[in-house]
Amino acid sequence: MRLEKCWFCSSTVYPGHGIQFVRNDAKIFRFCRSKCHKNFKMKRNPRKVKWTKAYRRLHGKDMTQDSTFEFERKRNRPERYDRNLAEDVLKAIPKIDKIRVRREEKHHKNRMKGNKAKLLKEAARELEQGINLVKPPSVLQKDPSLTLPQIKVLVPQQQTEENRPMEE
Amino acid sequence: MAASFASKCSRVGHSLFGGLGNSLSGLVTTSQEIICNKFLSQQQQQQRSFIQMRTVLKVVDNSGAKKVMCIQPLKGRKGARLGDTIIASVKEAHPNGKVKKGKVVYGVVMRAAMQKGRCDGSEVKFDDNAVVLVDKQGQPIGTRVFGPVPHELRMKKHVKILTLAGHIA
């Protein structure tokens, strides 16, 4: 029994599932379900189809290189059955899965983090524009403590520069 | 074949009804329904079917024939599948080969476009329909076989053909 990978979406094909297509040049394409098979028949390139693993790896959405992937490499040499080895492997599989999932989550978090400087600038702009939601403009003019200081740039013509203390 | 087509008709019919709502419920006649369904099923999937009388198959050995037309599938009410034997008539042949055009030969189906279920539950299908010509005893006429060859031949005791094969699928 062998767990194969779907050619299109790279998910595992368990025994009893899917279709194997053998092309005349003897290349075998395995598909996990008819969705992948139909996409293949439409001659779609999995690297361009957004929900496949091939696309995600190519565009850096999922992690590509990791030592946990070494454990899942395809091995063509059958191993002589050893009960102790089999037991150890069965114990190790959930551990490796946990580590891999943890690393994937970290990768995802790093990807979603965002540029700190850009976020601050956007936040400042939003505060400046949307300050009317906090207090009406008439009140703000009387009490300037809520507005951000207006920074005027010195242009080489006669213009006054307002120096207001930065208030947090 | 007919049974599967009928069941497909009924399934598509139900979805049609669901989509159209109550507007046409009383008015659609059975003949119209069948026409609608046939149009839809032709659009959706290419249905691959058995190898039956008049099916043209490619010959993938060096026996001299190029194309044969099936005249009788041995075994099977609806037709031959992967690994079955057929009786065929040679339609196209190489000019100097063991087999000439018009000869009636036996063949073993090597590749079938229709999917065949394997014992582990998965299904295999090939790109085209291909045969290898054999004699009445089941021994191949040619000496070489081209292209991928399925496992199924082992169960059918066509071991000789498997040994000649370059690639076993």
What are the φ and ψ backbone dihedral angles of B12, each rounded to 5 degrees?
A: -65, -35
Cβ atoms < 10 Å from Cβ of A89: 13
Question: B149: closest CA among B159, B139, B136?
Answer: B159
- Six token digits for residue B68: 């044969």
- Six token digits for residue A51: 């929900």
Lowest mean pLDDT among A47-51, A52-56, A73-77, B97-101: A73-77
C-alpha distance from B160 to closest chain A C-alpha (Å): 20
Would you state the pLDDT for residue A81? 94
A137-159 as b/e: b if 16+ CB within 10 A: eeeeeeeeeebeeeeeeeeeeee
Q: Decide if B124 and A24 are in contact by the 8 Å CB cutoff.
A: no
Q: Decide if A21 and B147 are in contact by the 8 Å CB cutoff.
A: no
Contact B125/A at CB under 8 A: yes
C-alpha distance from A9 to closest chain B C-alpha (Å): 18
Range A86-108 average pLDDT: 94
Cβ atoms < 10 Å from Cβ of A41: 13
How many Å separate Cα B26 from the centre of its chain? 41
Model confidence at B158: pLDDT above 50: yes
Model confidence at B8: pLDDT above 50: no
Strand partners, B61: B145
The domain locations on chain A are: 1-62, 63-128
Would you state the pLDDT for residue B44? 64
- Six token digits for residue A142: 């009387």
List, as ranges, residues 132-151 from B with C-beta within 8 Å of A.
147-148, 150
Architecture of domain A1-62: Roll (2.30)
> Can you list the positions of beta strands (E) in A32-124?
none
Model-level ipTM above the cut of 0.90: no
Select the residue of B128, B147, B169 nearest A28 (Cβ to Cβ).
Answer: B169
Q: Decide if B167 and A18 are in contact by the 8 Å CB cutoff.
A: no
Lowest mean pLDDT among A111-115, A125-129, B32-36, B120-124: B32-36
Contact A22/B at CB under 8 A: yes
DSSP letter at B51 equals: B
Question: B169: closest CA among B144, B145, B151?
Answer: B151
Model confidence at B95: pLDDT above 80: yes
User: Which uninterrupted H or E stretch holds B140?
Assistant: none
Q: Decide if B123 and A20 are in contact by the 8 Å CB cutoff.
A: yes
- Measured between beta carbons, the chain B residues lying within 8 angstroms of A22 are 111, 124-127, 148, 150, 169
Question: B52: closest CA among B150, B129, B156, B136?
Answer: B129
| Between B47 and A23, residue with greater pLDDT | A23
Would you state the pLDDT for residue A83? 96
DSSP letter at B157 equals: T
